[in-house]
Structure 1
Amino acid sequence: MTLTLQGASSQGRGDKKMSYAGDVSPSQAWQMLSQDKPARLVDVRTRPEWGFVGVPDLSSAGKKTIFLSWQDYPTMQVNPAFAAEIAKAIPDKDTPILFLCRSGARSKAAAMALTAAGYSRCYNVSEGFEGGLDAEHHRGRAGGWKAAGLPWVQE
């Protein structure tokens, strides 16, 4: 499968570079999940977001989403066990992992952190599940997994 990435990132933090495999659109993420058997989706949002906003439905691709918060609700502190929990769920560090959040910020941070932990194929779903705000200041209509018409369910 050939993907055109929206651009891998490399941001300096002091002398240390943080990077990841790149950004993919929700449609590209769905293509990877549908066509690349080992590819996995990790939804890094919080439990309230999963319950109130909905979650990706990967059943037609024969997969299940991994739900693991990057930041713990309600404090929104970075989950200190995140990398260890990913290692339990996905021990093969060459597995393509797509990270999804609301709009692409937390998932990018998670992709960078897992790359730093030794995973080689971490992707950020750039528009997230709900995308950015539309002209009426609502999410879920102007971009993201839901607006792309990809499968999702309300828990």
Structure 2
Amino acid sequence: MSYAGDVTPAEAWEALSDDPAAVLVDVRTSAEWSYVGLPDLRTLGKDVVLVEWQTYPTGAVNADFVAELSAAGVDEQAPVYFLCRSGVRSVAAAEAATAAGWSRSHNVSEGFEGPHNGEQHRTVSGWKVAGLPWVQG
């Protein structure tokens, strides 16, 4: 593993709650942020940092990912928790961030919506299913 490790959404929430320096970076696309929803960190006095790992609508890997992470003010010494839809893109983001100097990069393993169930619905696990705060629209 070339990043600090995987955490569940509940573990990420606990870390974000307990550590004022901890940051949540949502690496989904702008369309997902707009139409699916976002984690809501307002009760923690924090905002989610939004940096696409893959760009919308092409799906190409964002060549400026590291530069945008830095421009967003994410401290290289802070614990950073990367979130995508199901925990796949966020692994790649955590690996890239680690390689670029963010040594405390974690993957939120179940993502925002989690994997599909047998009926192809995302109701198995993830940030939303865990009952963590989120907003839509």
User: TM-score band (shorter)?
Assistant: over 0.9
Q: Give the counterpart of 1:52 among 35, 53, 59.
A: 35
How far apart are residue 85 of structure 1 and its match? Answer: 1.1
Give 1:12's aligned residue.
Answer: none
SS at match of 2:127: helix
**TM-score, reference length from structure 2:** 0.97
The answer to whether residue 107 in structure 2 is matched with residue 133 in structure 1 is no
Q: CA RMSD in A?
A: 0.9
How far apart are residue 22 of structure 1 and its match? Answer: 0.2
| Distance in 1 of aligned mates of 2:75 and 2:119 | 43
Unpaired runs of at least 5, structure 1? 1-8, 10-18
Give 2:102's aligned residue.
Answer: 119
The answer to whether residue 85 in structure 2 is matched with residue 102 in structure 1 is yes
| Distance in 1 of aligned mates of 2:57 and 2:75 | 31
For this pair of structures, how many residues does the alignment match? Answer: 137
Unpaired runs of at least 5, structure 2? none
| Distance in 2 of aligned mates of 1:65 and 1:151 | 12
Alignment of 1:1-155 (within 5 A): 9=1, 19-90=2-73, 92-139=75-122, 141-155=123-137
- Larger proportion of strand: 1
How far apart are residue 87 of structure 1 and its match? Answer: 1.2
SS at match of 1:71: coil
Cα deviation code 1:59-98 (max 9, x no counterpart): 0111000111000111111111110111122353111110
Q: Larger C-alpha radius of gyration, 1 or 2?
A: 1
SS at match of 1:145: coil
SS at match of 1:98: strand
